[in-house]
Amino acid sequence: MPIMIDTHAHIYLPEFEADLEAIMHRALQEGVQKIYLPNIDTASIPSMLALTQQYPEICKPMMGLHPCSVQDDWSTVLDDMEALIEKNRPLYSGIGECGLDYYWDKSHIAEQKAAFERQILLAKKYQLPLIIHSRDAMDDCLALVEKHRGDDLRGIFHCFSGTREQLDKVISLHFKAGIGGVVTFKNGGLDKVLQYTDLPHLVLETDAPYLAPVPFRGKRNEPAYLRYVVDKLSELLQCGSAEVMQVTTDNARQVF
Ligand SMILES: [Zn+2]
């Protein structure tokens, strides 16, 4: 059976506490063999690391500060996060999630940019992939990545939702586009953009508990639902589900 990699899931959040074992069981049954955990802020670190200890073969933690959690103290928060990486570099699989979000909060845009840039530098310094969150801020995100582009910088534009031109830019920067439940949404618009791309540029993600694919839209998302993303991608790109799984899994392995 082909395997899948969920490159982005917050299954360490309280939403999953009650039935975590069942969730992990369903994920493995569907063929999801690795789940990468993006961090959010200081408060989310203990539960993320606890989950990693519980399922060390499957769950891989990342370290970073989400743009919606960037406050005036971002610099010391990132100092502390870097100290954690320094203490146990092999534990972490990536830097993130980080980036820019102008949708929820426009009051800290300068700080968001500074925190993002610092995390780009961390990705380069520790040779880790960068996991980027961008909402209403794609061009600014691309500009900052472009500024630091190089052989030592790679990663994923998580929950990609940009234009065809922006997708071309993502690819030219040697990044992948993370594709999740949004691809199954009616009027999501992603289908039109993805027509012009190819599997080698895509990785799978759920962003659980958010953005569950149809037919679970609006409900809690979980890694086992990657199957619905695969089916939609195979329809859009006119290839078999097994091929979608195989290539996106290879892509994820390249990134991580
Ligand atoms: Zn996320």
Residue 85 has a pLDDT of: 98
- What is each CA distance from 182 to 145, 189, 190, 204, in whole angstroms? 24, 9, 7, 12
Distance from the alpha carbon of residue 132 to the mean position of ligand 1, in angstroms: 9
Contact 3, 35 (CB under 8 A): no
Residue 104 has a pLDDT of: 84
Distance from the alpha carbon of residue 125 to the mean position of ligand 1, in angstroms: 23
pLDDT band at 50 (very low <50, low <70, confident <90, very high): very high
**Domain ranges (residues) in the chain:** 4-255
> Which H or E run contains 192?
helix 190-194
Q: What is the pLDDT of residues 126-174, one digit of tens each?
A: 999 999 999 999 999 999 999 999 999 999 999 999 999 999 999 999 9
Give how far the C-alpha of residue 110 lies from the chain's centroid of Cα atoms, to the nearest Å. Answer: 23
Q: What is the pLDDT of residues 199-248, one digit of tens each?
A: 999 999 999 999 999 999 999 999 999 999 999 999 999 999 999 999 99
Strand order in the sheet with 59-61: 4-6, 32-37, 59-61
Residue 192 has a pLDDT of: 87
Instruction: Compute the distance between CA of residue 254 and CA of residue 29 in angstroms, rounded to an integer.
Output: 24
Distance from the alpha carbon of residue 194 to the mean position of ligand 1, in angstroms: 21
pLDDT band at 55 (very low <50, low <70, confident <90, very high): very high
Region 1-25 average pLDDT: 96
Residue 221 has a pLDDT of: 98
Instruction: Compute the distance between CA of residue 210 and CA of residue 100 in angstroms, rounded to an integer.
Output: 18
pLDDT band at 195 (very low <50, low <70, confident <90, very high): confident
Residue 1 has a pLDDT of: 75
Region 14-34 average pLDDT: 97
Contact 119, 77 (CB under 8 A): no
Q: How many CA atoms lie within 13 A of 15 on its CB side?
A: 13
Q: What is the mean pLDDT of the chain?
A: 96
Tell me whether residue 105 is exposed, middle or buried, using C-beta atoms within 10 angstroms of its C-beta: 0 to 12, 13 to 18, 19 or more.
Answer: middle
> Which H or E run contains 191?
helix 190-194
Region 32-56 average pLDDT: 98
Does domain 4-255 fall into CATH 3.90.470.10?
Answer: no
Q: What is the pLDDT of residues 84-134, one digit of tens each?
A: 999 999 999 999 999 999 998 889 999 999 999 999 999 999 999 999 999
**Closest by Cα among 137, 157, 132 to 66:** 132
Distance from the alpha carbon of residue 39 to the mean position of ligand 1, in angstroms: 8
- What is each CA distance from 121 to 116, 146, 220, in whole angstroms? 9, 13, 34
Residue 189 has a pLDDT of: 85
Among all chains, which residue has been given the structure tokens 């962003």?
Answer: 207
* Predicted structure pTM score: 0.97
Distance from the alpha carbon of residue 205 to the mean position of ligand 1, in angstroms: 9
Distance from the alpha carbon of residue 173 to the mean position of ligand 1, in angstroms: 21
